[in-house]
Amino acid sequence: MNSHLWQVYQLARSKSSVQPVVHDQLLTLTRALEGRSDAEAGALCRAAGDLFQLAGELAFDNSRYTDAAASYTLAASASREARSYDLWACALVRHAYIGMSGKQYKEAAGVLSAAEKIAKRGDGALSTRYWVASVQAEAYAGMGQLTACERALDEAQKVVDHSSTTATGGWLRFDGSRLMEERGARYLELGRLDLAETALTDALKQRALANGQSFRRRGAVLTDLAVIGAKRYDPDQVVTFGREALELARASSSGYVARRLRGLRAELGPLNRDARVADLGVEIDALTTWQQT
């Protein structure tokens, strides 16, 4: 059931539509834990650690950070009880994203350092340690540490060279397919605009993004390209990429893309003198206000 729910979550345009079923399944798991033997409880704790991560993803995507943090904490606790080190590390990685959404990069780096140590105790055939490195790169970029960021990106890139390394398809989906867009986002945060634009443009050509299979990922890349336009004072680039990202946010009701668009809104500054940019800003404000209510 958990695997099925992750598949539904990944395919759903509106992620929040999965919430009621996830809630019901968590209640079922909680009831099932009562009166079980240690062996049975361990297996159910692993299942709970899995599903609480999905519940956290749903809350995080809807900008409910307190609920997301609670879910990830429960996921980490259940995974620890089950001695499922990869599941435990992934719960910590997801928790670190909450800190980074509030630009608390140093605190997030501390959580990721713990995740790195736990992942080393996990299954070497899984891609957990490479995902940890990929997210560490984001924390380092937020702190302005170019060398550490590139070192972490290079470590994450190793997932491509290990054919035996796998992802679960559910709570662990890191397979290297997102590395180009992640690299572009990190270079953008570090102010390396040419490197960022090259990586992001290449990312848009990847099949999953080119075919619109992931509204969330494509929306984030388009927003980053619009931000590059804003930093270059190029209203045409801002409007072209920003408007497409806005339409994807509307179609998917994605709080994640809406948050990225709020970041773009803050970059517009003098470009608001262009009527097209001003209109885009008004529409972003309307979208993000709706997402928060």
- Residue 167: what pLDDT? 62
Q: Does 35 reside within a domain?
A: no
Q: Does 198 reside within a domain?
A: yes
- Residue 15: what pLDDT? 80
Can you give the CATH number for the domain in which 205 is found?
1.25.40
Domain carrying residue 213: 178-293
Q: Are 288 and 250 in contact (CB under 8 A)?
A: no
CA distance 92 to 172: 12
What is the number of domains present in the chain?
1
- Residue 199: what pLDDT? 95
- Residue 165: what pLDDT? 61
Q: Does 163 reside within a domain?
A: no
- Residue 215: what pLDDT? 83
Q: Which amino acid is at 121?
A: R
- Residue 166: what pLDDT? 65
- Residue 288: what pLDDT? 65
* Residue-wise pLDDT tens digits, 123-162: 999 999 999 999 999 999 999 999 999 999 999 999 988 7
- Residue 293: what pLDDT? 45
Which residues of the chain, if any, have pLDDT below 70?
Answer: 163-168, 208, 210-213, 288-293
